[in-house]
Amino acid sequence: MNVFGIGLPEMAVIAAIGLLVFGPKRLPELGKTLGKTLRGFQSASQEFEKEFRQAVTPESESSGAQAVASVAAMLPVSAPTTDPSVQAITPAIPMSLVSAPGSEPASGSIPASVASDTPDS
C-alpha cells in the first residue's frame, strides 16, 4: 500500500506522532477535517479537468465549420458566363517553358519570339 509515496510503516509513524501531539480526543476531529479538505480538493480537480476537456473537444471546431457552411449557403452562386466578349486569360509564358520547381532550366530552350521581348542588360 503506497499513498502519496508514503508506505504503511511511514503512515503508522505519522499516526503515532499525531496521537502523541494532538491526543486521542482531537485526532478523530482532525481526521474528519483532513478528509473533507481532500474531498474538496479532489472534486475541484475533477471539475477543472471536466471544463478543460470540454474546452478542448472538437465541438468548437465543428460549430465553426457549421457557421462557415451557413454563410457559404447565403452567398449567391455565380452562373457561367455566356458573353462571347469575355475571354479566358492565357498565360504570358508558354507552359512548355515552365520547368518543375527545383529543376535547372534547359539551355537554349527559349524561343526567339520570347527572347526578343526580353530587355538586354
List the chain pLDDT tens, one digit each, 121 residues: 677 788 888 988 988 898 888 888 888 888 899 889 989 999 999 999 998 888 877 655 556 677 777 777 777 666 666 666 655 555 556 666 666 665 655 555 566 666 565 565 5
How far apart, in whole angstroms, are the C-alpha atoms of residue 30 and residue 41? 16
3-state secondary structure of 15: helix
Write the DSSP assignment of 77-92 as a string of letters.
PPPPP--TT--PPPPS
pTM score? 0.36
3-state secondary structure of 6: strand
73 to 35, 64, 65, 77, 115: CA distances (angstroms) = 57, 14, 12, 9, 48
Each domain of the chain, given as residue ranges in start order, spans 1-59
